[in-house]
Amino acid sequence: MAGEHTIEIGQFEIRDPVTNLYLGSHLFWVMRDSSGAVVREMHGLATDSLGNAKVFGGPLNSSDTIEMYDVTRSGMLSDQLRNVFTSGSFFSESSRSTIGSTFIGSEAEVLARWAQATAILEVFNRLNIDYGPLTGIGNYNSNSVARYVGQLMGFDVPPPLRASGVEPSVPGWKKDLMAKVVDGILDDMARLEKEMGRPLNAEELQRYVDVIEAAQGLTSDCFPAGTPILLQCGKTLPIDEVDVGDVVLSYDATGTLVPGRVTRTFRNEVSHLLDVHGLKVTPGHATLCGDGMFKGRHVPIIDILLSDGALERADGSLIRMAINAPVGSVADAFVKVAVAATPEDMRNDTLTDGEMRVGTLLFDREGVPVSVLDCLTVEGYAFDPKTGLVSKPGAASALLVRQAAPARGLYPDPLARDAGGYSDGWGMGGQQAATDRGAAAAGGEVELI
């Protein structure tokens, strides 16, 4: 269909340069644009100790390793890869072909699938996985990588057929690289703990968890069961009832709300969820940012929260994510504050000028969330959104003074903004983290109230 991009399995038929005898196939992945032109390829290649890609690796137990290469075909191949693919011996262009389309979709959908493989590329190449010879005995080869890349992109791919309908010789295709990669990451984690002489802390451990999930091709960005999804017809359907072929509405790369057909569904177990004023979502879920430094871009929703960004509703209205208030409203304005970074600073009256969203949420003594503006109103203060100052009738305008709160929770990012950056305190709405927004880790779920 016009305008659609594809991902396909490609192959080089490997033949003896003297006898032209078919020896086997080197499989790889191909991305084509809407015109049918090849724009990218993903190969597994033997690589020597100097980092040079090779047509074939050395014998069993040599120093060659197997690495992943994400390359373009538009004249931008590096010299070493051009020598591999145009050597005229085994990988000749005349023996190059593709074996049908595995995935057809929009450019964004195709790039998203491709990114699931490239996300682990650098880690994979650092693992120094031994390369196996053409016979596939012992170690892993290019076809092992081809199968693994297909798994990462979410494809259930059987050994492909040649154009003649005959199954090609693809040594290494059935080797399970995924388990090998995960084991390598776990070994690296154990090595790091041994070097440091201590267990990994929560942040370090989470980084390894993220890498392992990427190595398993897990798309862990999702919503809990029951989350309503807007359909093209205007009705909503719980996400767990959405099926392949349903047409849902979402924002495209230009920020336009458009219909799109569901191409696959998946279920995940995740360690953390953000409760964004009732909407539970994984922190890394790509979300359209309506205001702030990421305006007009799809970025992880946690980045929108931590950068003082706004979410865009289906009707086009903008909501400041951290404070759940309309952009441009009184609650969205900044109130001037003086921040004491430590109890000692508070006693010594050592304060730093800063500002925060007046709609920033706090907890009262009963644990009920209230905004700074609510507190000011109850105490009889008036807030001027133009100057950011507060005052009482008959008194001069003033700054709020608050002592910084100790960081706690999953995302201990700073909350109150000052000239030197940010420091924990009542906070700036866009730097809301697990501190004053009431994050609680319980039962594997993080709740932001």
Assess contact for 294 and 305: CB atoms under 8 A: no
Please report, rounded to a whole number, the percentage of residues in the chain having pLDDT higher than 90.
10
Tell me: pLDDT of 329 over 80: yes
Tell me: pLDDT of 427 over 60: no
pLDDT of residue 318: 95
The better pLDDT of the pair 442, 107 is held by 107
Burial class (CB in 10 A: 0-12, 13-18, 19+), 269: exposed
Taking the whole predicted model, whether its pTM rises above 0.85 is answered as no
pLDDT in tens, 277-294: 888 887 767 788 899 988
Assess contact for 350 and 422: CB atoms under 8 A: no
Q: What is the 3-state secondary structure (H, E, C) of the chain?
A: CCCCEEEEEEEEEEECCCCCCEEEEEEEEEEECCCCCEEEEEEEEEECCCCCEECCCCCCCCCCEEEEEEEECCCCCCHHHHHHHCCCCCCCHHHEEEEEEEEEECHHHHHHHHHHHHCCHHHHHHCCCEECCCCCCCCECHHHHHHHHHHHCCCCCCCCCCCCCCCCCCCCCCCCHHHHHHHHHHHHHHHHHHHHCCCCCHHHHHHHHHHHHHHCCCCCCCCCCCCEEEECCCCEEEHHHCCCCCEEEEECCCCCEEEEECCCCCCCCCCCCEEECCEEECCCCEEEEEECCCCCCEEEHHHHHHCCCEEECCCCCEEECCCCEECCCHHHCEEEEEEECCHHHHHCCCCEEEEEECCCEEECCCCCEEEHHHHHHHCCCEEECCCCEEECCCCCCECEEEECCCCCCCCCCCCEEECCEEECCCCCHHHCCCCCCCCEEECCEEECC
Count of residues making up the chain: 449
pLDDT of residue 115: 84
pLDDT of residue 138: 56
pLDDT in tens, 109-131: 788 788 888 888 989 999 999 88
pLDDT of residue 330: 95
Where does the pLDDT of residue 253 fall: very low under 50, low under 70, confident under 90, or very high at 90 and above?
A: low
pLDDT of residue 263: 67
Tell me: pLDDT of 60 over 60: no
Where does the pLDDT of residue 348 fall: very low under 50, low under 70, confident under 90, or very high at 90 and above?
A: confident
Those residues whose C-beta lies under 8 Å from the C-beta of residue 269, and which sit 6 or more positions away, are none
Other Cβ atoms closer than 10 A to 119: 17
Closest CA to 309 of 299, 295, 298, 296: 295
CA distance 135 to 171: 6
pLDDT in tens, 76-91: 455 556 666 655 444 5
pLDDT in tens, 178-215: 889 988 998 998 899 899 998 888 778 777 877 887 88
Average pLDDT rounded to a whole number, residues 62-74: 80
Average pLDDT rounded to a whole number, residues 41-56: 82
Tell me: pLDDT of 229 over 90: no
The mean predicted confidence, pLDDT, of the chain is: 73
Angle at 309 between CA 305 and CA 311, to 5 degrees: 90
What tokens appear for 144 in the block? Answer: 């092992």
Q: Rounded to the nearest 5°, which phi and psi values hold at 3?
A: 85, -5
pLDDT of residue 95: 56
Tell me: pLDDT of 325 over 90: yes
Average pLDDT rounded to a whole number, residues 144-154: 88
